[in-house]
Structure 1
Amino acid sequence: MTDIELQRLKASEVVMKASRLARLVGHAELTEFLGFERNGYPNNWSVREWIERAGRWGDAEKTKFHITSIAKLEAQAESHRKAIEAMQGGGNYSGDMALVASRNHDARILNLSGALSTSTGICRQVIATVYDMVAEIYHELLFSELQASLFADTQAKVDGSLAAASGSALDKIERVSDRLRDGDSESVSQALTTCRRLIDSCADYVFPPRDEPYSIGDGINLKVGTQQVLNRLQAHTHSCGASKNRRDRLRRTLADLYERCSAGTHAEVPIDEARFVFLQTYIALGEILTLRLSEATES
């Protein structure tokens, strides 16, 4: 990207360098496009999209296009440029044909200038197209690296908290993973049941059952007995001092997940949906279990 931004390379050099990048990252679209730019385009309309993006049209109506490789276009542009430079001094014309010769000379320069403009325009458009696609790859890689770092850091915290919450919690997660890999309806149902039990065990850890209600203010008292799993999790977020917006978001998320996990024991759930339910359960419980630590850190 820097080479393109600082105009360090010619179009053909940009294409070659980008070809190596496309091969290293396995980018099929960029590989295809650069293959045509290196070797030339087929003389048909099968790759109209790339012709359009490379600006290779030969007329305003877009009924013709240039099939020449980028290297040959560059060579043609250089040849045209040198020819124009050689002709710019004008000619020494005399006699009856002087006016005709002068007009032909000017027409020749005009034609060469038009051809030069076309060739350089295509080269610049190819560079611009390569730049857009390389920038896309760069941001995808940057996001993937950030995503991997965030996930690894979060996973370490969540796994540690789950281990503390229940000695068997991580075993439950392993069983869920195994069942979701199986993919059959019975395994999916068992996996969702395990997710629900994981929520139960976390609630028992962060807020054990109580006979007396728990007040979250504004005259609202929550029953926090054995069966009130979601209420106990809500009471825990309140006792940690989490903001109301955060408490409400976690309450809605866990209520939806608990309902989906419970429904999954009686109805067939697609494997893809079950995997997302598991991931969302894991993340939501991770936030619940690390809440006290994060709130203390913020304080």
Structure 2
Amino acid sequence: MSRLDEARKVAQELLESLETSRAPIEAILMKTKRLARLMRDTDAQTWLDLETRGYPDSFNPEQLGSCKKYALAAGRITSDGKYYFISLPKFEAQGKSDEALIDALRSSRPIATKAKDFLEKSATEALLESQLNQQVQQKKNYVDNQALFASLKSALHNYATDIYLSIELGDVAEEIFEQARGDVDSFVRIHCSKAAEQLVAINERLHEDLPESRAAALTSCRRLLMTVADSLFPPQDQPWTDSNRKTRKVGSEEYKNRLLAYVEQKISSDSSFSIIVSEIEHLAARLDAVYKKVCKGVHADVSKEEARLAVIHTYLFLGEIARLSKKPKSGGGEQQTV
């Protein structure tokens, strides 16, 4: 079982425990901490540890990171920055203690005796009033504490729900990407087998997790698109005129224009073509900028997130090309003759 599959199972069990059982809050917290560990969620681990042990005198809500929202929504932290110190297990124990005390006060009955004089009568009435006030206050404390306890407990439910939905969403995205991967693999195998080696090289560069490796990965993405363009629309000396009568060079370095020329041959809809033009323009601009820096010997500062998104964008664009490769030519655009 993979880590995410185990996390999904734990999230399901946790939600079931919170919704249908009367499991002790310690057990709920332990299972929630296990879920956070499986998700490698350090913010949640910090938050849950405080919920288990209690909050210190000196505490900054920003320490909770992404889990601050759960503490705020539950009322653990008030809008003016104050917060409750008591841990969730103590809240639960206090609630049980308050409930037992209320039951004791409710079951106790004053002995009905006739007062001997006025002073004794006044003292008895004062005692009864004091007991009644104590019972009313105890009930109020119990209700307030139980409401806060339920709210804090619901924060655990919200966290488990968010994690479960994120895993499910990840499965959907993975399934969609897997379908695109199948199309790309088939396309590469049939049309440009050289691109397969470049895809492997890109993946290896990303896994090295070094700044220069990330720049190399994006440069490889550019080479990959050139390889695909060479296969689908080889370099030509004569320019290409698109359906809008715009002339585009389609030489060896103009891989972007050659890809657009191929796409236009497959698409009859102007709106669809405009979308793909925008997509390839954005992708090529990013890849070309890194390529120019590398060629000049200038350090290309590419973050891990930027590199990953660029690679994903490249792969998805190949998926679009793979889909179009199955269509017959639409006859869009023309090659100029001289």
TM-score over 0.5 for the alignment?
yes
Tell whether 2:87 aligns with 1:74: no
From 182, 186, 189, the equivalent of 1:156 is 182
Give the CA deviation at 1:120.
1.0
1:251 maps to amino acid: I
CA–CA separation in structure 1 for the residues paired with 2:114 and 2:326? 95
State the distance in 1 between where 2:31 and 2:114 align.
57
Q: Secondary structure at the match of 2:245?
A: coil
**1:290 aligns to what SS in structure 2?**
helix
Alignment of 1:1-299 (within 5 A): 1=15, 4=18, 6=19, 8-10=20-22, 13=24, 15-26=26-37, 27-38=41-52, 40-41=53-54, 44-47=56-59, 49=61, 55=75, 65-66=85-86, 69-86=90-107, 92=112, 94-95=114-115, 96=121, 97-182=123-208, 191-210=217-236, 213-241=239-267, 243-263=272-292, 264-266=294-296, 267-272=298-303, 273-293=306-326
CA distance in 2, matches of 1:55, 1:114: 18
Counterpart residue identity of residue 72, structure 1: A
Measured after TM superposition, the shift of residue 79 of structure 1 is: 0.9
Moved more, 244-253 or 200-209: 244-253
Give the whole-Å Cα distance in 1 for the aligned partners of 2:43 and 2:307: 32
User: Percent identical across equivalent pairs?
Assistant: 19
Give distance in 1, aligned partners of 2:212 and 2:75: 55
Q: Is the 8 A contact 1:210 1:226 kept in 2?
A: yes
Query: How far apart are 1:154 and its partner, in Å?
Result: 2.0
Looking at structure 2, the residues matched to 14 and 63 of structure 1 have their Cα atoms a distance apart, in angstroms, of 20
1:268 aligned counterpart, secondary structure: coil
Q: CA deviation at 1:146?
A: 2.1
Seen in structure 2, the aligned counterparts of structure 1 residues 93 and 99 have a Cα distance that, compared at 3 Å, is farther
Structure 1 gaps of 5+ residues are none
C-alpha distance after superposition, 1:271-298 (max 9, x if no partner): 53555444433332332233334899xx
Q: How many residues are treated as equivalent by the alignment?
A: 288
Q: Structure 2 CA distance, aligned partners of 1:46 and 1:137?
A: 29
Could you tell me which runs of 5 or more consecutive residues in structure 2 were left unpaired when the two chains were aligned. 1-14, 116-120, 330-338
Distance 2:42 2:215 in 1: 38
- Asked if structure 1 preserves the Cα contact closer than 8 Å seen for 2:95 and 2:142, the reply is no
**Contact between 1:230 and 1:251, CA under 8 Å: does it hold in 2?**
yes
**Aligned CA distance change for structure 1 residues 70 and 184 (closer, same or farther; 3 Å):** closer
Is the Cα contact below 8 Å between 1:77 and 1:119 reproduced in 2?
no
